[in-house]
Structure 1
Protein backbone atom coordinates (compact mmCIF):
# COMPACT_ATOMS: atom_id res chain seq x y z
CA UNK A 1 0.00 0.00 0.00
CA UNK A 2 1.45 3.35 -0.96
CA UNK A 3 1.59 6.14 1.55
CA UNK A 4 -0.72 9.01 0.75
CA UNK A 5 0.97 12.41 0.62
CA UNK A 6 -1.18 15.08 2.24
CA UNK A 7 -0.95 18.70 1.29
CA UNK A 8 -3.07 21.57 2.62
CA UNK A 9 -4.48 22.44 -0.81
CA UNK A 10 -6.69 19.73 -2.25
CA UNK A 11 -7.11 17.70 0.93
CA UNK A 12 -10.50 16.07 1.22
CA UNK A 13 -12.22 13.94 3.77
CA UNK A 14 -12.85 10.36 2.66
CA UNK A 15 -16.00 10.08 0.52
CA UNK A 16 -17.90 8.08 3.14
CA UNK A 17 -17.26 10.74 5.81
CA UNK A 18 -18.34 13.51 3.43
CA UNK A 19 -21.59 11.71 2.59
CA UNK A 20 -22.21 10.99 6.26
CA UNK A 21 -21.53 14.66 7.16
CA UNK A 22 -24.16 16.00 4.74
CA UNK A 23 -26.67 13.26 5.54
CA UNK A 24 -26.36 14.00 9.25
CA UNK A 25 -26.61 17.75 8.64
CA UNK A 26 -29.91 17.40 6.79
CA UNK A 27 -31.21 14.87 9.32
CA UNK A 28 -30.33 16.96 12.38
CA UNK A 29 -31.65 20.23 10.96
CA UNK A 30 -34.84 18.40 9.94
CA UNK A 31 -35.22 16.95 13.43
CA UNK A 32 -34.78 20.36 15.05
CA UNK A 33 -37.35 21.92 12.68
CA UNK A 34 -39.74 19.04 13.33
CA UNK A 35 -39.26 19.40 17.09
CA UNK A 36 -40.04 23.11 16.94
CA UNK A 37 -43.16 22.45 14.89
CA UNK A 38 -44.40 19.68 17.18
CA UNK A 39 -43.85 21.50 20.46
CA UNK A 40 -45.47 24.66 19.12
CA UNK A 41 -48.74 22.88 18.35
CA UNK A 42 -51.69 21.85 20.48
CA UNK A 43 -51.40 18.47 22.15
CA UNK A 44 -54.00 16.85 19.88
CA UNK A 45 -52.91 18.47 16.60
CA UNK A 46 -53.13 15.65 14.00
CA UNK A 47 -50.00 16.76 12.12
CA UNK A 48 -47.91 16.95 15.30
CA UNK A 49 -49.32 13.57 16.36
CA UNK A 50 -48.18 12.15 13.03
CA UNK A 51 -44.70 13.69 13.38
CA UNK A 52 -43.84 12.43 16.89
CA UNK A 53 -43.14 8.77 15.94
CA UNK A 54 -41.06 9.88 12.96
CA UNK A 55 -39.13 12.35 15.11
CA UNK A 56 -38.32 9.55 17.55
CA UNK A 57 -37.27 7.12 14.80
CA UNK A 58 -35.10 9.61 12.96
CA UNK A 59 -33.65 10.79 16.29
CA UNK A 60 -32.46 7.24 16.97
CA UNK A 61 -31.11 7.09 13.42
CA UNK A 62 -29.19 10.34 14.05
CA UNK A 63 -27.70 8.77 17.19
CA UNK A 64 -26.66 5.62 15.31
CA UNK A 65 -25.12 7.71 12.52
CA UNK A 66 -23.19 9.71 15.15
CA UNK A 67 -21.72 6.43 16.42
CA UNK A 68 -20.84 5.34 12.88
CA UNK A 69 -19.26 8.76 12.31
CA UNK A 70 -17.04 8.36 15.38
CA UNK A 71 -15.93 4.88 14.32
CA UNK A 72 -15.17 6.02 10.77
CA UNK A 73 -13.23 9.07 11.98
CA UNK A 74 -11.19 6.80 14.21
CA UNK A 75 -10.55 4.30 11.41
CA UNK A 76 -9.59 7.02 8.88
CA UNK A 77 -7.64 9.12 11.38
CA UNK A 78 -4.40 8.90 9.40
CA UNK A 79 -6.00 10.16 6.18
CA UNK A 80 -8.09 13.01 7.56
CA UNK A 81 -7.20 16.52 6.40
CA UNK A 82 -5.02 18.47 8.76
CA UNK A 83 -6.06 21.77 10.30
CA UNK A 84 -4.99 24.60 7.98
CA UNK A 85 -1.73 26.05 9.28
CA UNK A 86 -2.89 29.56 8.37
CA UNK A 87 -5.66 29.49 11.00
CA UNK A 88 -5.04 31.74 13.98
CA UNK A 89 -4.66 29.95 17.33
CA UNK A 90 -8.05 31.20 18.54
CA UNK A 91 -9.69 30.00 15.31
CA UNK A 92 -8.14 26.55 15.77
CA UNK A 93 -9.36 26.42 19.35
CA UNK A 94 -12.89 27.49 18.36
CA UNK A 95 -12.98 25.09 15.42
CA UNK A 96 -11.91 22.07 17.46
CA UNK A 97 -14.20 23.03 20.35
CA UNK A 98 -17.27 23.48 18.14
CA UNK A 99 -16.59 20.21 16.31
CA UNK A 100 -16.27 18.32 19.59
CA UNK A 101 -19.47 19.90 20.92
CA UNK A 102 -21.36 19.00 17.75
CA UNK A 103 -20.20 15.39 17.98
CA UNK A 104 -21.04 15.19 21.69
CA UNK A 105 -24.46 16.81 21.23
CA UNK A 106 -25.37 14.55 18.29
CA UNK A 107 -24.90 11.69 20.73
CA UNK A 108 -26.41 13.34 23.81
CA UNK A 109 -29.53 15.00 22.35
CA UNK A 110 -31.05 11.80 20.92
CA UNK A 111 -30.19 9.94 24.14
CA UNK A 112 -32.08 12.58 26.12
CA UNK A 113 -35.00 12.27 23.71
CA UNK A 114 -35.01 8.51 24.21
CA UNK A 115 -34.87 8.98 27.99
CA UNK A 116 -37.74 11.46 27.79
CA UNK A 117 -39.95 9.12 25.76
CA UNK A 118 -38.94 6.08 27.75
CA UNK A 119 -39.75 7.65 31.14
CA UNK A 120 -43.19 9.11 30.31
CA UNK A 121 -45.81 7.25 32.36
CA UNK A 122 -48.50 7.12 29.68
CA UNK A 123 -46.11 7.31 26.72
CA UNK A 124 -46.24 5.10 23.68
CA UNK A 125 -42.57 4.12 23.72
CA UNK A 126 -39.91 4.62 21.12
CA UNK A 127 -40.47 3.00 17.71
CA UNK A 128 -37.63 2.41 15.30
CA UNK A 129 -38.60 1.71 11.69
CA UNK A 130 -38.71 -2.11 11.45
CA UNK A 131 -38.91 -2.61 15.23
CA UNK A 132 -42.24 -1.98 16.89
CA UNK A 133 -40.49 -0.46 19.92
CA UNK A 134 -36.97 -0.05 21.23
CA UNK A 135 -36.65 -1.61 24.69
CA UNK A 136 -37.23 0.95 27.42
CA UNK A 137 -34.67 0.72 30.19
CA UNK A 138 -35.81 3.62 32.35
CA UNK A 139 -38.56 3.43 34.94
CA UNK A 140 -41.75 5.37 34.23
CA UNK A 141 -41.55 8.67 36.12
CA UNK A 142 -43.20 11.91 35.04
CA UNK A 143 -40.77 14.04 37.06
CA UNK A 144 -37.85 12.41 35.25
CA UNK A 145 -39.74 12.93 31.98
CA UNK A 146 -39.98 16.68 32.66
CA UNK A 147 -36.26 16.88 33.44
CA UNK A 148 -35.30 14.90 30.31
CA UNK A 149 -37.69 17.02 28.24
CA UNK A 150 -36.00 20.23 29.39
CA UNK A 151 -32.50 18.79 28.84
CA UNK A 152 -33.47 17.47 25.39
CA UNK A 153 -34.85 20.88 24.39
CA UNK A 154 -31.82 22.85 25.61
CA UNK A 155 -29.29 20.42 24.16
CA UNK A 156 -31.05 20.79 20.78
CA UNK A 157 -30.81 24.60 21.09
CA UNK A 158 -27.11 24.37 21.95
CA UNK A 159 -26.58 21.96 19.04
CA UNK A 160 -28.31 24.41 16.69
CA UNK A 161 -26.10 27.23 17.99
CA UNK A 162 -22.99 25.11 17.40
CA UNK A 163 -24.16 24.30 13.87
CA UNK A 164 -24.72 28.01 13.20
CA UNK A 165 -21.19 28.78 14.46
CA UNK A 166 -19.80 25.93 12.33
CA UNK A 167 -21.52 27.33 9.24
CA UNK A 168 -20.48 30.91 10.10
CA UNK A 169 -16.85 29.84 10.42
CA UNK A 170 -16.98 28.01 7.10
CA UNK A 171 -18.56 31.01 5.36
CA UNK A 172 -16.06 33.41 6.96
CA UNK A 173 -13.10 31.38 5.72
CA UNK A 174 -14.71 30.92 2.32
CA UNK A 175 -15.57 34.56 1.68
CA UNK A 176 -13.43 36.75 3.92
CA UNK A 177 -10.04 35.07 3.97
CA UNK A 178 -8.75 36.05 0.54
CA UNK A 179 -5.64 33.86 0.45
CA UNK A 180 -7.68 30.65 0.27
CA UNK A 181 -5.37 28.87 2.71
CA UNK A 182 -8.13 28.65 5.32
CA UNK A 183 -11.02 27.76 2.97
CA UNK A 184 -12.13 24.44 4.44
CA UNK A 185 -15.37 23.97 2.48
CA UNK A 186 -13.81 22.10 -0.48
CA UNK A 187 -12.56 19.44 1.95
CA UNK A 188 -16.17 18.44 2.66
CA UNK A 189 -17.54 18.69 -0.91
Structure 2
Protein backbone atom coordinates (compact mmCIF):
# COMPACT_ATOMS: atom_id res chain seq x y z
CA UNK A 1 0.00 0.00 0.00
CA UNK A 2 2.80 2.45 0.80
CA UNK A 3 4.32 1.77 -2.64
CA UNK A 4 1.00 2.66 -4.30
CA UNK A 5 0.76 5.81 -2.19
CA UNK A 6 4.36 6.78 -3.05
CA UNK A 7 3.71 6.29 -6.78
CA UNK A 8 0.44 8.18 -6.58
CA UNK A 9 2.13 11.04 -4.72
CA UNK A 10 4.66 11.47 -7.50
CA UNK A 11 2.20 11.80 -10.39
CA UNK A 12 -0.27 14.68 -10.30
CA UNK A 13 -2.29 16.88 -8.01
CA UNK A 14 -5.99 16.03 -7.60
CA UNK A 15 -8.10 17.53 -10.37
CA UNK A 16 -9.87 19.95 -8.01
CA UNK A 17 -6.54 21.46 -6.93
CA UNK A 18 -5.34 21.69 -10.54
CA UNK A 19 -8.49 23.48 -11.67
CA UNK A 20 -8.33 25.81 -8.68
CA UNK A 21 -4.65 26.58 -9.37
CA UNK A 22 -5.26 27.70 -12.95
CA UNK A 23 -8.49 29.56 -12.10
CA UNK A 24 -6.70 31.52 -9.37
CA UNK A 25 -3.78 32.23 -11.72
CA UNK A 26 -6.09 33.73 -14.35
CA UNK A 27 -8.07 35.74 -11.78
CA UNK A 28 -4.99 37.11 -9.99
CA UNK A 29 -3.21 38.14 -13.18
CA UNK A 30 -6.45 39.69 -14.43
CA UNK A 31 -6.91 41.61 -11.17
CA UNK A 32 -3.32 42.93 -11.28
CA UNK A 33 -3.77 44.05 -14.90
CA UNK A 34 -7.13 45.62 -14.03
CA UNK A 35 -5.58 47.41 -11.04
CA UNK A 36 -2.82 48.88 -13.18
CA UNK A 37 -5.33 50.03 -15.76
CA UNK A 38 -7.74 51.53 -13.22
CA UNK A 39 -5.17 53.43 -11.21
CA UNK A 40 -3.33 54.72 -14.24
CA UNK A 41 -6.36 55.94 -16.14
CA UNK A 42 -9.05 56.62 -13.53
CA UNK A 43 -8.94 60.40 -13.90
CA UNK A 44 -9.75 60.53 -17.60
CA UNK A 45 -11.17 57.16 -18.64
CA UNK A 46 -14.82 56.47 -17.74
CA UNK A 47 -14.38 52.70 -18.19
CA UNK A 48 -11.92 52.66 -15.30
CA UNK A 49 -14.77 53.62 -12.97
CA UNK A 50 -16.78 50.63 -14.18
CA UNK A 51 -13.87 48.32 -13.38
CA UNK A 52 -13.61 49.22 -9.67
CA UNK A 53 -16.67 47.27 -8.45
CA UNK A 54 -15.65 44.26 -10.55
CA UNK A 55 -12.10 44.44 -9.22
CA UNK A 56 -13.50 44.43 -5.68
CA UNK A 57 -15.83 41.48 -6.15
CA UNK A 58 -13.28 39.38 -8.01
CA UNK A 59 -10.77 40.22 -5.27
CA UNK A 60 -13.17 38.79 -2.71
CA UNK A 61 -13.60 35.74 -4.94
CA UNK A 62 -9.80 35.23 -5.03
CA UNK A 63 -9.74 35.43 -1.22
CA UNK A 64 -12.50 32.81 -0.94
CA UNK A 65 -10.71 30.58 -3.48
CA UNK A 66 -7.51 30.89 -1.42
CA UNK A 67 -9.41 29.59 1.60
CA UNK A 68 -10.81 26.76 -0.51
CA UNK A 69 -7.29 25.99 -1.75
CA UNK A 70 -6.00 25.66 1.81
CA UNK A 71 -8.94 23.43 2.70
CA UNK A 72 -8.34 21.15 -0.29
CA UNK A 73 -4.59 20.94 0.37
CA UNK A 74 -5.33 19.89 3.93
CA UNK A 75 -7.98 17.38 2.81
CA UNK A 76 -5.74 15.79 0.16
CA UNK A 77 -2.46 16.08 2.10
CA UNK A 78 -1.93 12.31 2.05
CA UNK A 79 -1.92 12.13 -1.77
CA UNK A 80 -0.26 15.40 -2.76
CA UNK A 81 2.94 14.99 -4.77
CA UNK A 82 6.21 15.61 -2.97
CA UNK A 83 8.91 17.76 -4.48
CA UNK A 84 11.24 15.71 -6.70
CA UNK A 85 14.14 14.15 -4.81
CA UNK A 86 16.55 15.37 -7.52
CA UNK A 87 15.99 19.01 -6.52
CA UNK A 88 18.92 20.66 -4.81
CA UNK A 89 18.38 21.68 -1.18
CA UNK A 90 18.35 25.41 -2.06
CA UNK A 91 15.74 24.73 -4.79
CA UNK A 92 13.50 22.94 -2.29
CA UNK A 93 13.93 25.76 0.22
CA UNK A 94 13.18 28.44 -2.40
CA UNK A 95 10.20 26.55 -3.77
CA UNK A 96 8.65 26.07 -0.32
CA UNK A 97 9.23 29.73 0.55
CA UNK A 98 7.71 31.03 -2.68
CA UNK A 99 4.69 28.75 -2.40
CA UNK A 100 4.02 29.78 1.19
CA UNK A 101 4.35 33.46 0.31
CA UNK A 102 2.03 33.03 -2.69
CA UNK A 103 -0.63 31.48 -0.47
CA UNK A 104 -0.17 34.17 2.18
CA UNK A 105 -0.40 36.99 -0.36
CA UNK A 106 -3.48 35.55 -2.05
CA UNK A 107 -5.11 35.85 1.36
CA UNK A 108 -3.54 39.16 2.42
CA UNK A 109 -3.79 41.24 -0.78
CA UNK A 110 -7.59 40.97 -1.09
CA UNK A 111 -7.98 41.70 2.63
CA UNK A 112 -5.88 44.85 2.21
CA UNK A 113 -8.03 45.83 -0.77
CA UNK A 114 -11.15 45.30 1.31
CA UNK A 115 -9.65 47.37 4.14
CA UNK A 116 -8.76 50.12 1.67
CA UNK A 117 -12.27 50.23 0.27
CA UNK A 118 -13.90 49.88 3.67
CA UNK A 119 -11.91 52.77 5.17
CA UNK A 120 -12.34 55.13 2.19
CA UNK A 121 -14.54 58.04 3.30
CA UNK A 122 -16.44 58.24 0.00
CA UNK A 123 -16.68 54.48 -0.54
CA UNK A 124 -19.54 53.17 -2.59
CA UNK A 125 -19.24 49.84 -0.79
CA UNK A 126 -17.75 46.48 -1.58
CA UNK A 127 -20.06 44.52 -3.88
CA UNK A 128 -19.92 40.76 -4.21
CA UNK A 129 -21.86 39.39 -7.17
CA UNK A 130 -25.34 38.50 -5.88
CA UNK A 131 -24.95 40.22 -2.52
CA UNK A 132 -25.63 43.91 -2.65
CA UNK A 133 -22.58 44.76 -0.51
CA UNK A 134 -20.17 43.12 1.87
CA UNK A 135 -20.41 44.89 5.25
CA UNK A 136 -17.74 47.54 5.75
CA UNK A 137 -16.41 47.13 9.27
CA UNK A 138 -13.60 49.69 9.37
CA UNK A 139 -14.09 53.32 10.35
CA UNK A 140 -13.83 55.84 7.53
CA UNK A 141 -10.46 57.57 7.56
CA UNK A 142 -8.31 59.25 4.92
CA UNK A 143 -5.16 58.27 6.82
CA UNK A 144 -6.15 54.60 7.13
CA UNK A 145 -7.21 54.56 3.49
CA UNK A 146 -3.77 55.84 2.41
CA UNK A 147 -1.98 53.17 4.47
CA UNK A 148 -4.19 50.34 3.16
CA UNK A 149 -3.90 51.66 -0.40
CA UNK A 150 -0.09 51.56 -0.23
CA UNK A 151 -0.05 48.12 1.42
CA UNK A 152 -2.51 46.73 -1.16
CA UNK A 153 -0.40 48.07 -4.01
CA UNK A 154 2.90 46.79 -2.60
CA UNK A 155 1.45 43.38 -1.80
CA UNK A 156 0.11 43.12 -5.37
CA UNK A 157 3.58 43.94 -6.76
CA UNK A 158 5.15 41.39 -4.44
CA UNK A 159 2.55 38.82 -5.48
CA UNK A 160 3.35 39.49 -9.14
CA UNK A 161 7.10 39.14 -8.49
CA UNK A 162 6.49 35.80 -6.76
CA UNK A 163 4.34 34.61 -9.67
CA UNK A 164 7.20 35.47 -12.04
CA UNK A 165 9.61 33.48 -9.84
CA UNK A 166 7.14 30.58 -9.66
CA UNK A 167 6.79 30.47 -13.46
CA UNK A 168 10.55 30.93 -13.96
CA UNK A 169 11.28 27.99 -11.66
CA UNK A 170 8.78 25.81 -13.48
CA UNK A 171 10.25 26.74 -16.86
CA UNK A 172 13.80 26.19 -15.59
CA UNK A 173 12.97 22.63 -14.57
CA UNK A 174 11.06 22.05 -17.79
CA UNK A 175 13.55 23.51 -20.26
CA UNK A 176 16.99 23.81 -18.71
CA UNK A 177 16.85 20.57 -16.77
CA UNK A 178 15.33 18.91 -19.88
CA UNK A 179 12.31 17.69 -18.00
CA UNK A 180 13.02 14.43 -16.31
CA UNK A 181 12.60 13.98 -12.59
CA UNK A 182 12.67 17.70 -11.76
CA UNK A 183 9.94 18.61 -14.30
CA UNK A 184 7.08 19.70 -12.04
CA UNK A 185 4.75 21.13 -14.71
CA UNK A 186 2.98 17.84 -15.62
CA UNK A 187 1.85 17.51 -11.99
CA UNK A 188 -0.34 20.61 -12.40
CA UNK A 189 -1.63 19.90 -15.92
TM-based fold match above 0.5: yes
Shift of 1:10: 5.6
SS of the aligned residue for 2:131 comes to coil
CA distance in 2, matches of 1:164, 1:179: 19
Give the Cα–Cα distance (whole angstroms) in 2 for the partners of residues 67 and 44 of structure 1: 36
Question: How far apart are residue 46 of structure 1 and its match?
Answer: 1.0
Q: How does 1:40-59 map to 2 (within 5 A)?
A: 40-43=40-43, 45-59=45-59
Aligned residues: 188
Q: Which SS does the other structure have where 1:133 is aligned?
A: strand
What CA distance in whole angstroms lies between the structure 2 residues aligned with 1:44 and 1:67? 36
Contact 2:62 2:106 in 1 (8 A): yes
Query: 1:45: how far off?
Result: 2.3
**What secondary structure, in the 3-state scheme, does the structure 2 residue paired with 1:181 have?**
helix
Runs (4 or more) in structure 1 with deviation over 4 Å come to none
Q: What RMSD in Å do the two structures reach over aligned CA positions?
A: 1.5
- Name the counterpart of 1:169: 169
Runs (5+) with no aligned partner, structure 2: none
Aligned to 2:72: 72
Structure 1 residue 123 displacement after superposition: 0.9
Say which is worse superposed, 40-49 or 71-80, in terms of deviation: 40-49
Cα distance in 2 for partners of 1:145, 1:27 equals 24
What TM-score, normalized to structure 2? Answer: 0.96
Q: Which residue of 2 aligns with 1:117?
A: 117
- Verify: 1:145 aligned to 2:174, yes or no: no
